[in-house]
Structure 1
């Protein structure tokens, strides 16, 4: 049976599109394919350090791929799901009838109708690919290109968008109109690649912002619970080898050696921590200066990461956000809670839903 871990053994991005394999967290396979579109990332240096230039204007050229982080994003925090601390008793909807149905890249089914939603929030890497594809550096549209870049004044730290360290962190500092434009571009890119398949049968996908009701359905998993689960806290272990990583992520002035010693002391206490990325009481090395890694787990029972916390997510209803952010309290992360955004902000990002339309082969 094909699963997401062996999808990467298939040849070419089209295979990823047709099997849903592009939903594999791409940070685990840096340099292969973009999870949101199935586009190959190499040889262009989408996560390479941008050359010197105006702030936050990323010049993407043919540069070698690099691993920007001093420690893998997915190894920093290790939660232990299945703890005796809590047990959910609600029934996860059975979507087995959708087996074999096309999934757009990045999306997983959460509705009996086959509606999909992004496994994770749209990342800085996704956005940089979008900017590079729509407005290449040598195009005649360089005067327009800055209009699709994140607002420098709405970034949590100055290098948040341009630094490869934050490649797999959620894009922020963008407007509602920019998010809609990204969804339109993504729809065109994915449909063009679908047409290249030998088994093309007229399938078409459309990406768009979710409605508030769709977002709530995906987050709640029909649990009837305010956070979609009773398991808000789990035992956690912080990797001591991530000391340098956490130094940058937290912005602490303490030395790497001191951070490592403090992490080891923290682990000896066998800590229990909320896996939601909100403004909870934390040791200094876990206090975020920015949103966090989009695939930080555990995911909800639909397999969706960071639905609550991390960044508040835009929905179709303009000005409304859902899920709360890393700067909000826990109550703001409730599924039914509403946030509001007047424009680009360091706490607001988005994910898209994917509608699949099937038709006769043309």
Structure 2
């Protein structure tokens, strides 16, 4: 595989971190994961499909499942293991490579897209969005939004008090950071390439824990744990 002489176009739902490395502007949502499940059920069979379902204790809903509920289509997918997320990344790589080449390939010059979890450094670059985390610890220039005469709305979805119930926000809700990335801090903590480590805090964590330089540990699926991908694009037959 060769290097790219010109910067490639950004894949869907992504923004450039640098050169040919891109990051999702949003956390991976239920809608995205449902597409994965639909494809593997058709192509890989029922047995494998069942191994890729989120942990039912985290997606149970009185009318069925949070994963499939229309009101939760754009909420971050939760209840996944590290291994399930890696499987999703492999599927997304193959799927996106096919779609990208249909649009951008020229003759024998084709592209390979590889999706994976970000390293801690990559995640920090995306989450800070060009701001200094020392001055802007949540990756935003301000963390409250004032609208009219109402109380200021906190832009970080965190656990404001011990009575807060389970609340996930739309992955595109609120304001993005200067890079265009939504919910780097809060909503769901995001898995890193290093297994068992996440960053960003979540609806379940205190505001202090949602600062970009903090991290969270996990050893199993959680209601507060999700992910976003980075993608590297390589040129074949340059």
Verify same fold: TM over 0.5. yes
1:275 paired to 2:183: no
How many residue pairs are counted as aligned between the two chains? 227
Shift of 1:114: 3.3
**More displaced stretch, 165-174 vs 214-223:** 214-223
Corresponding residue for 2:49? 145
The structure that has the greater radius of gyration is 1
Shift of 1:146: 1.0
Higher normalized strand content (fraction of residues):
2
Quote the Cα distance in structure 2 between the aligned partners of 1:293 and 1:116.
21
Shift of 1:270: 2.5
Alignment partner for residue 132 of structure 2, among 209, 224, 244? 224
Structure 1 pair 211–280 and aligned structure 2 pair: CA distance change class (3 A)? same
Quote the Cα distance in structure 1 between the aligned partners of 2:166 and 2:68.
16
Instruction: Spell out the pairing of 1:273-312 with structure 2 (5 A cutoff).
Output: 273-280=153-160, 289-312=166-189
Structure 1 pair 232–197 and aligned structure 2 pair: CA distance change class (3 A)? closer
Q: Is the 8 A contact 1:233 1:275 kept in 2?
A: yes
1:105 paired to 2:16: no
1:214 paired to 2:122: yes
Give the unaligned 5+ runs of structure 1. 1-97, 238-268
Quote the Cα distance in structure 2 between the aligned partners of 1:302 and 1:156.
34
TM-score (norm 1): 0.58
1:190 paired to 2:67: no
Structure 1 pair 140–275 and aligned structure 2 pair: CA distance change class (3 A)? closer
Instruction: Spell out the pairing of 1:10-159 with structure 2 (5 A cutoff).
Output: 101-111=8-18, 113-136=19-42, 141-155=45-59, 157=61, 159=65
> Post-superposition, which runs of at least 4 consecutive aligned residues in structure 1 deviate over 2 A?
98-101, 154-159, 193-201, 287-290, 358-361
Higher relative contact order (CA 8 A, sep 6+): 2
Instruction: Spell out the pairing of 1:336-347 with structure 2 (5 A cutoff).
Output: 336-347=213-224
SS at match of 1:179: helix
1:233 paired to 2:144: yes
Structure 1 pair 156–117 and aligned structure 2 pair: CA distance change class (3 A)? farther
Q: CA RMSD in A?
A: 2.4
Q: Is the 8 A contact 1:322 1:338 kept in 2?
A: yes
Q: Is the 8 A contact 1:110 1:218 kept in 2?
A: yes
TM-score (norm 2): 0.87
Structure 1 pair 198–209 and aligned structure 2 pair: CA distance change class (3 A)? closer
SS at match of 1:183: helix
Q: Is the 8 A contact 2:185 2:201 kept in 1?
A: yes
Corresponding residue for 1:36? none
Give the unaligned 5+ runs of structure 2. none
